[in-house]
Chain A
Amino acid sequence: NAGVMQNPRHLVRRRGQEARLRCSPMKGHSHVYWYRQLPEEGLKFMVYLQKENIIDESGMPKERFSAEFPKEGPSILRIQQVVRGDSAAYFCASSPANGNTIYFGEGSWLTVV
């Protein structure tokens, strides 16, 4: 399967813990996007990265959230000190360097208890 791979699919964290979501882009894709879908809402842009560089993080909450896409390995979305409001589906997408179309993974569902 050469699609966008996200893990874990489901993650349960207690309030105050850290959540780490991983995303491996499609083969040949160098750009990664993270989106969040809160219950009963649409897809909200969070961050857009290429290898070792954040292109646009205008949708990231100012505190507790960070993202990286290292030279080797998957992209990581990190949420520190999670709160109940962080419970959502987090979707990763990827595109080639000069592509306009982004392709999504299956998502990671975070539940904060």
Chain B
Amino acid sequence: DQQVKQNSPSLSVQEGRISILNCDYTNSMFDYFLWYKKYPAEGPTFLISISSIKDKNEDGRFTVFLNKSAKHLSLHIVPSQPGDSAVYFCAASGASYDKVIFGPGTSLSVIP
């Protein structure tokens, strides 16, 4: 039972354009959401998070949007750069002392 879903295994975007990565979740108890970026042979790196009391959080080129009624969140990267090419994982957790559940990941390729 996959509680966090990323339905696009891969995405290609031209350099300078916007990348939009999508994520859906099924567990209504989730109240904290995170995005991680992962390069091959390295550990995931934390990018940005959002709590359920917000619908948007922005950090530089990265913005996360949360639609609680649709149980959907998205990560926007603008402008996209070739160094952004990586696998992006969406993750979610409930209250403190709850494990963090990851989606299957979306592989982003930014084409120069």
Contacts and interface: CB of A to CB of B under 8 A. Distances in A.
Interface of A: 4, 6, 33, 35, 41-45, 48, 55-56, 58-59, 91, 93, 98-107, 109
Contacts of B93: 100
Contacts of B43: 4, 6, 91, 104-107
A100 B96 contact: yes
Residue of A43, A45, A93, A103 ringed by the most chain B CB atoms within 10 A = A43
Contacts of B100: 33, 45, 93, 102
Interface residues on B, range: 20 to 34
A55 B94 CA distance: 14
Contact of B89 (A33, A43, A59, A100): A43
B42 to A, nearest CB: 6
B96 to A, nearest CB: 6
A43 B44 contact: yes
Interface in B73-112: 89, 93, 96-105
A56 B44 contact: no
B99 A33 contact: yes
B45 interface: yes
Instruction: Give 5 closest A-B pairs by Cβ, nearest first.
Output: A104-B43, A42-B104, A43-B102, A100-B32, A106-B43
